[in-house]
Chains A and B, each alone.
Chain A
Amino acid sequence: SAVISQKPSRDICQRGTSLTIQCQVDSQVTMMFWYRQQPGQSLTLIATANQGSEATYESGFVIDKFPISRPNLTFSTLTVSNMSPEDSSIYLCSVESETQYFGPGTRLLVL
């Protein structure tokens, strides 16, 4: 298994601003992912964070809105840019370590 931490755990932001979410894993992992969970909904994959190269985004998500960094095998960041109230969600980091494990999530409210 893998132990995953995320910062911040929650935040309230003004529209038009950006927030960077950090994800730290207690062991080196090849695959890291970012998901969004809108209120009362299931999980939707935003992108795969690739170490040393650009992230791979899913349909409907673009790098300008959700830039991702993956500087090493234990850390990644997701930035939610130019936020609007529609970006209010839980953002979850996950890793593949024999199977898929999730972090505790970052609860974002955009006013």
Chain B
Amino acid sequence: GQQLNQSPQSMFIQEGEDVSMNCTSSSIFNTWLWYKQDPGEGPVLLIALYKAGELTSNGRLTAQFGITRKDSFLNISASIPSDVGIYFCAGQMNSGTYKYIFGTGTRLKVLA
């Protein structure tokens, strides 16, 4: 199926560092979601974005809905070991269908 391009694919960072990842597409989206998946668990919703240019925070996490509606960004500030996991973006093209296309994922590893 169709997937969104997410980068970086994986990253190792030191505890305390800030992290940035992004999701891009050639298509326009109406909604962007960001999820975190821990090993052996289902994805957990972190942030939902509904308007172009929207900037939303959830604790140390901040996400933005790109102004072109073709991309989204997630930043994690002052990373901690429990930030380890896989982060997925998901985009919805048509509001009426409730169907989402998922990114390829960013695997984050935090070194204490």
Docked CA distance A53–B64 (Å): 38
Interface residue stretch chosen among B14-22, B54-62, B75-83, B96-104: B96-104
Asked, given contacts A42-B103, A58-B1, whether A102 binds B98 with beta carbons under 8 Å apart, the answer is: no
* A104 contacts B102, C-beta separation under 8 Å: no
State which size class the interface on A falls in.
Answer: 20 to 34
A-B contact count (CB 8 A): 48
Map CB proximity to A onto B60-88 as digits: 1 under 8 Å, 0 otherwise: 00000000000000000000000000001
State which size class the interface on B falls in.
Answer: 20 to 34
Docked CA distance A103–B40 (Å): 11
- Shortest CB distance A8–B (Å): 14
User: Is A52 part of the contact surface with B, judged by Cβ < 8 Å?
Assistant: no
Docked CA distance A100–B88 (Å): 13
Identify which of B40, B41, B99 contacts A48 (C-beta below 8 A): B99
Chain A residues lying within 8 Å of B99, measured Cβ to Cβ, are 33, 45, 48
Docked CA distance A100–B91 (Å): 11
Docked CA distance A104–B44 (Å): 9
Docked CA distance A44–B104 (Å): 10
Identify which of B33, B104, B105 contacts A100 (C-beta below 8 A): B33
Q: Can you list 21 A-B contacts with CB-CB less than 8 angstroms, sorted by A residue number? A: A31-B98, A42-B3, A42-B88, A42-B103, A43-B43, A43-B90, A43-B102, A44-B1, A44-B102, A45-B100, A48-B99, A59-B1, A92-B42, A92-B43, A99-B33, A99-B45, A99-B48, A100-B33, A100-B90, A102-B43, A102-B45
In the complex, besides A44-B1, A92-B43, A100-B98, 6 extra interface pairs with C-beta distance below 8 angstroms are A33-B99, A42-B88, A43-B88, A43-B90, A43-B102, A100-B45
